Structure 1
């Protein structure tokens, strides 16, 4: 201890002398020489420093956008390393459903990768006072710095940083708020402003496959198909196909087609793009809409048979429209007169290219869904395999679907009236929506008795059965009347025909008699 005490005054004197000499150097040594000495000193110190560092700035080449790499590192540290930090901050990011906990500024966290320890620093640097920033909110420069031993340089650059980018995608998808998009009518397209072609709200539909009234085997087959698609990126690349899949949902109204779409989106955790074809001006605009969609999304065109005239035929030549229309085309247009839209419609060819053309391969992990009440009205080219890969019939409610509804609406799994209901559902075509309406409680305060609900459903089913029988009897009676009328008309026609023949024969005989008299 004594030698150390004797050494301390000498050390303090040396430090004071060094500080004094450095101040003298700054005052008397030229700036160029001082910069050279500082640079050489830094290089000399670096030779003895075994650690390297990589800095990721908040703003890179795109001055108006935050660096995607910076956001990826921020999301990764919040998920993988934030539990090591003592100082954190919470933010609710854009399109995020949960608060994002991130590492606070000037905080250090460690990470381990393949047995290698890395140190992350969240830093912030104040801009110089005499520099005026032209970008709002850029007075402070934030960045992340990762420090590692120089012998792990190839591991960090070649493996660790790509791992961070791949890992963060799943983190971002799980944390973000899923959205329901719709296309804007007549919106001008701007590649830097997605809002010009799509607008969105939060997607909060509660439907799941557990609440979907459908045959369990069919439901399981759909779930397996969706899982195979979601995990099939390498397979699709191997067979040379775009990573997309088409589903055609067809069936009568009220059979759950829209609910099926919501259940798919919730199962896959995908965004939903509800495409309204009547608001699309032409094929070019349809293509631009597709480009603006993102991966991990479902593109939906509901009631495809009613959405637009998809014949793909050109309009008739204007010359065949009449002199009046030709004269109208030749006259000058008034300033406020709207343009004609004869050549601004989505055609069948344009829609086919949208589904299965070259542009459909832009991006990946997309599902395209068409719904229709009348499958037979659709062009076969539109729904062939390869475009609509899987056809799903959404049929009337049967007993297996009813049991799901009874469990959802009344928490009833077994009941003595189930047998009668099963028999009636096999005989009567009733949509799941109509069945569910009879199982819902009358109010929030008063919960309906399952006995009353099921008895009411039986009454409705029996009435529907009687109405169906009456309608069938009426149809048969009308068919008999039509057949009888047809037979009567045929008989009267034959009688008139025979009468005409007799009259013609009499006239011929009369002509012969007159000739004989002459």
Structure 2
């Protein structure tokens, strides 16, 4: 006789009967008298039998259950769902990579027909009449992106902190003012199912490829290629991407003679002499101060310098800087190939930050090697002398009101014709000459028809001239006429410039004001308007322009006096 393993049988009816017996026993008052005693049972009966007590208890318990219901559901779901082994990474909004990865994810998620929620955004692809709109699945659920042989799981998650409302200001978790969790930005969590050969570096490689794909720039024609500059603003101790713009060409910035060359040369030498600094134990950093009235070209030269040096711009406004810790954290996260621009260094806000702490970031233990810092201000006399000493600010350049050479550079840059405009002017001259030629030919045919009515086509073609030679003559006439037009235009422009230079003395207006004067003439008349019209309009506008500048200066002085009175 063989032994068999005993397998107990499960009887559903018996199980239900036992459950009902248990409920019947628990609901019997004698059970609770025996378990808790007569006194405790009497007290519970008295309070729980009171409707008012029960209603109050419901109002108290309901918010607790409601607040933790999602956690309960997640817990149950996690227990019931078989766990997957995964490798995963988090991408946070404060990181530079976040924007690229998020744009790639949104552009590659596809909504199903049964989805009832989604997120709309612009695609990088553009139609002929404007940008394309894409709709991605709702960010609250786990989404899948099939990338080659890998399935990448993507989920947006919210930052969660215990006792978020009790967090102190300036804490590292980002909860500066105890706002509700829903106000915090979401971060991305990307994961892969663990398998043979799948590691965290597999996910790193995928993210690198996504970033490269998203940052690909369409190839430009040789004449349209320009350097791009990324600009970042400082947030709560972190750098936030602001925009990418075409860097200005150095030739488009008109400063007083020698200033631009001095600045560019110094930056070039500093960036190529890192080993020299390190070999001699000299702190490898450089500070510049650009000061002067508003509109004198401080922002323009900084943008052009960033494009020339092929570096990012990191912008800090002292008026919006709140704590030393945030500023120190941002400097610590500064990349080597970037220019730190600190605006409004003469702002009174810097005193409240703590001068010693601020200086320690510039050249103390908290400073960063390889930093290029450009300070800007309007009034150098309002800056603490401790900031101005060498080692913190090494080069000081004053950008003042425009002088004659600056005016000349602005004048020719705005009124002179570029290659495209010369081609357009050539087409216009060609049309005029061809129209004149057609009129002359029509007149000749009429004369010939009157004098020799019996002349045949064959006889007429034996004059000794052909259509090809006629076209060559026309082209020569057009080239000669265009040269005459360009020479005449340049002479007229030079004559006008010689007249307005004495009318606008040196050190009286800013380059920005001159630029507005010149461009307003172009906007009102058009860049291809006859040069005589443009120069006549400019001569008539100069007296009005000078009067407006005078009134602006008076208004600024009155405002400053009123501000000084309020401070007193």
Coarse TM-score class (shorter-chain normalised):
0.3 to 0.5
TM-score by length of 1: 0.47
